[in-house]
Amino acid sequence: MKIKVAVVGFGHIGKRHSTIVSNNINYELVAIIDIKDPNELNFSGFEKIPFFRSLNEFFESKIKTDFVTIATPNGFHEEQSISSISNGCNVVIEKPMALTKTGCEKIINLALKKQKNVYCVMQNRYSPTSKWLKEIVDSGVLGKIFLVQTNCFWNRDDRYYKPDKNGFPSGWHGSKKLDGGPLFTQYSHFIDLLYWVFGDFENIQFNSNNFSHSNSIEFEDSGLVSFNFKDKSQGVFSYSNSVFERNFESSITVIAENGTIKVGGQYMNEVEYVDIKNYKMPKLKEANPPNDYGPYKGSAANHHYVYENIYKSLNGIEEITTNALEGLKVVEIIENIYSKNIK
């Protein structure tokens, strides 16, 4: 039996999910749901898929569905996940899981009550460099870790924030209610990687500025976070959406007792430096090129691994890669950072 999936949200990322589901022999795309007029959407390749303007309209159709993929603006994730679970569906939620820890808890509590699965999309975990970073840290060959420096320097200018004549597709970007801020929308993948590899954050300090987006966003465009991990190693997370013209880098540098490493590139997809005592660097699988969403390139192209993991976890072959509690934890860390803003 194929796993039947409906995708809500048909922007860049929703189309990506729809394409992956359609091309996987273990899945069937049964519906596309989007608030926009269908005449404004490009349905090339999806013309035969039933289309609905709302989740309620879709559920009223009684189309059999196993999963709903939530690929809408961040501020809708909580409400739409709860609606989908209430209607008997498992959910795949694009990052972030919700914009508050409380919202995540509501989703998890309902999923437990209804005995439904929640999968959070953190596809950067599948990158060869990310898996290598986790393996090298978990192995202990670095010895005691002293400092983890993370830099995320991207461009998000008026091309990104300026809405079209109807306020879509980018009209939600920059909104506190629907976007939430760059740590949710741009950099939650990298907060997740830090948590996945190094553990939870404590002793957080945060300073932020809005250098170049005062007329387009309701929050900061740049920030500096300092903290400690549970092992008392020091962490620094620097980020900015004010880089001129194009994305610059996303990188993690680790200073440790037995070596130094740096993972970089636009999406932490390259191992740039390795110097570890008595260690020979293995040859890693080549990373997939990022999704091309125009001048911003988009996200790492690993979403197909998410659906492979869903299929395998449902069949008891492997564990869920990013479970609901981990999705909640990333949101909690981001909430904690924002609560420490000294401005």
- pLDDT of the chain, 343 residues: tens digit per residue: 899 999 999 998 999 999 999 999 999 999 999 998 888 888 899 999 999 999 999 999 999 999 999 999 999 999 999 999 999 999 999 999 999 999 999 999 999 999 999 999 999 999 999 999 999 999 999 999 999 999 999 999 888 887 655 544 457 889 999 999 999 999 999 999 999 999 999 999 999 999 999 888 999 999 999 999 999 999 999 999 999 998 999 999 999 999 999 999 888 889 999 999 999 999 998 877 666 656 655 566 789 999 999 999 999 999 999 999 999 999 999 999 999 987 6
Tell me the one-letter amino acid at 316.
G
Do residue 108 and residue 158 come from a single domain?
Answer: no
Which residue from 127, 96, 121 is spatially nearest to 263, judged by alpha carbons? 127
C-alpha to C-alpha distances, 167 to 36, 75, 163, 301, nearest whole angstrom: 10, 16, 5, 27
Question: Does residue 106 share a domain with residue 26?
Answer: yes
| Cα-Cα end-to-end distance for the chain | 54
Q: What is the model's pLDDT at position 169?
A: 44
Same domain membership, residue 99 and residue 243: no
Same domain for 139 and 113? no
Residue 103's pLDDT is what? 98
Residue-level pLDDT at 168:
45
Instruction: Write down the pLDDT at residue 165.
Output: 57
Supply the pLDDT for residue 160.
86
Closest C-alpha among 116, 32, 111, 109 to residue 71: 32
- Say yes or no: 132 and 8 in one domain: no
Q: Do 111 and 135 reside in the same domain of the chain?
A: no
158 and 228 fall within a common domain: yes
Please give the C-alpha separations between residue 202 and each of 52, 99, 134, 233, 288, in angstroms, as whole numbers.
44, 20, 20, 10, 33
Cβ atoms within 10 Å, residue 154: 22
Domain end call among 120, 145, 178: 120
- In angstroms, the Cα distances linking 226 to 87, 166, 173 are 42, 40, 26
Q: Is residue 339 part of a domain?
A: no
Q: Are residues 154 and 288 in the same domain?
A: yes
On whether both 93 and 172 belong to a single domain, the answer is: no
Give the structural domain span for 222. 125-299
Which pLDDT score is estimated for 204?
98
- Among candidate residues 62, 95, 120, the one where a domain is terminated: 120
User: What pLDDT shows up at residue 301?
Assistant: 77
CB 76 within 8 A of CB 55: no
Report the number of distinct structural domains present in the chain: 2
* Dist. CA 80–CA 85, nearest whole Å: 9
Residues 139 and 100 in one domain: no
Longest alpha-carbon distance in the chain: 62
